[in-house]
A = this chain, B = another copy of it.
Amino acid sequence: MRDRTDDLVRLADLLVGFGANLQPGQIVGVNAYYDMADAARAVARAAYSRGARYVDVFWWDLLVKRARLELADADSLEFVPPWMGERLRWLSNEHAARVFLTGTDSTVFDGIDPSRMGRDLLPYLKEVPEIVNERTTNWTIGPCPNPRWAERVHPELPPDEALDKLWDEIVYVCRLDADDPVEAWRERMRAIVASAERLTERHFDAIHLRGPGTDLTVGLLASHRWLGADFTTVDGLTHYPNLPTEEIFTTPDPERVDGHVSATMPLEVYGSFMSGIRIEFEGGRATKVDAEEGGEALRSIVAKEGADRLGELALVDGEGRIGPLGTVFYETLLDENAASHIALGNAYTFPLEDEADRERANRSPVHVDFMIGSPEVDVDGLTRDGERVPVLRGGAWQI
């Protein structure tokens, strides 16, 4: 196992300085899973070095959660301690910076009843999408290599080699191999934002995706814009909610989604593994939800309020660094940036210009991304007068 101290310092500084764009004097909320102590400490050091007023780490341990899932009364599983939401409200009121570290091994939940899994979504909190829409905090989510996650991603390798390979991949997809990772990201973001602007200018009425197991039309609202994942807070701070990020996205019309779609990659949702997902939509609503693995957990999530309608449509081109690796990371942050995707559940409202459209955007306590794109999936734009315009072919932009 190679020494990764330098990589950790570079990763932490990229997340704090560029991703979250921490300003001196800000409070910093950090979310870290238990296995991520080294990274959380590196983030704390990076943040205090850049003048953070206080670094507040929220630790989450999957084995304590497993004890609950195994042993607690089923009716108690949806309980959420009030301080967790109050903490997020505090971070929002303080206009804090926020750094989330991801990369877990959900096999720690093997053997747990999926219907119980679906009732306990912690550490996810309903306040997260609320404060994202308020745009009060400058935040980022970044990957954090650790032994358990590495073993999940590369089970064919000895543990040390698995962690080495995962670290190499994270260094690559986070562009930490560049002399100046921040400048490398600025360049990639310029290309992503240019694609988003070209697509916005077309004012498509719908997007049509067609490929193996997929034939789906997603209606768009009249005032929709396509955005790259560079956000701006109400205070005018630019930040990058996902590092790495390769997508452009918009908020669809939750009442005009029709057809069927097959996920092109497995995924993990709130700790449950799901593969071979196939969903049928009619009038915007998911009417049939199947999966080869994890179907019951997925259906128990879709049964939540608003979780049977779409909250996001995102397109990823073939020029990103994640897709070509061919690695399934079992981690939405990375996997969603490998391929075009849709999300069930809560919508961001800021891609919509008109207040009336914003009110039509989907609302839900959950937000579940799943990948439906691949080089084999053709993406077309449909205009209001019925014209069909190629958008992506073999992962390459056509507009």
Q: Which of A37-72 contact B (CB under 8 A)?
A: 37, 40-41, 44-45, 48-49, 51-57, 59, 61, 63-64, 67-68, 70-72
CA distance A110 to B55 in the complex (A): 21
A44→B64 contact, CB < 8 A: yes
Q: Give A14 Cβ to nearest chain B Cβ, in Å.
A: 18
Question: Within 8 Å CB of A53, what residues of B?
Answer: 72-73, 76, 79
Contact-residue bracket for chain A = 20 to 34
Question: Within 8 Å CB of A54, what residues of B?
Answer: 68, 72, 76, 79, 81
CA distance A274 to B34 in the complex (A): 31
Q: Give A74 Cβ to nearest chain B Cβ, in Å.
A: 12
Q: Give A275 Cβ to nearest chain B Cβ, in Å.
A: 29
Stretch at the interface among A82-90, A125-133, A190-198: A82-90
Question: Within 8 Å CB of A61, what residues of B?
Answer: 37, 40-41, 57, 59
CA distance A70 to B76 in the complex (A): 42
Question: Within 8 Å CB of A44, what residues of B?
Answer: 64, 67-68
Other-chain contact of A90, B56, B68, B83 (Cβ < 8 Å): B83
Question: Within 8 Å CB of A72, what residues of B?
Answer: 48, 52-54
Instruction: Across the interface, name the chain B residue whose C-beta is closest to A88.
Output: B83
A67→B48 contact, CB < 8 A: yes
Instruction: Across the interface, name the chain B residue whose C-beta is closest to A63.
Output: B41
Question: Within 8 Å CB of A37, what residues of B?
Answer: 34, 61, 63
Question: 9 other contacts beyond A59-B59, A83-B90, with CB at 8 A cut-off?
Answer: A40-B61, A48-B68, A48-B70, A51-B73, A52-B72, A53-B72, A59-B61, A81-B87, A82-B90
27 contacts between A and B (CB under 8 A): A34-B59, A37-B61, A37-B63, A40-B61, A41-B61, A41-B63, A41-B64, A41-B67, A44-B67, A45-B67, A45-B71, A48-B67, A48-B70, A52-B72, A53-B72, A54-B68, A54-B72, A55-B64, A55-B67, A55-B68, A56-B81, A57-B59, A59-B59, A59-B61, A83-B83, A83-B87, A83-B90
Could you tell me which A residues sit within 8 Å of B by CB distance? 27, 34, 37, 40-41, 44-45, 48-49, 51-57, 59, 61, 63-64, 67-68, 70-73, 76, 79, 81-83, 86-87, 90
